[in-house]
Amino acid sequence: MTREKLKFGGDMRPHVPPEQLWNEFQGDLAFDYHHETYWPALLSMCEERRAQKHERWVKAGKLIGESEIYLKGGDASSVGTDLAVGEEKDIVPPVDEGKAVSESVQEPLVST
67: containing domain: 56-112
Q: Which range is least confidently modeled, 47-51, 71-75, 94-98?
A: 94-98
Does residue 60 form part of some domain? yes
On the question of pLDDT at 86 being above 90, the answer is no
Is 35 domain-assigned? Answer: no
Instruction: List pLDDT tens digits, range 19-44.
Output: 999 898 889 999 888 999 999 999 99
- Rounded Cα distance between 66 and 91, Å, is 9
- Say what the pTM is: 0.53
Q: Is residue 5 part of a domain?
A: no
What is the pLDDT, as a whole number, of residue 108? Answer: 47
Terminal Cα distance for the chain, rounded: 39
Q: How many CB atoms lie within 10 A of CB 41?
A: 9
pLDDT beyond 50 at 5 = yes
Nearest by Cα to 15 from 29, 25, 1, 24:
25
CA–CA separation, 49 and 43 (whole Å): 10
Does 45 reside within a domain? no
Count the domains in the chain.
1
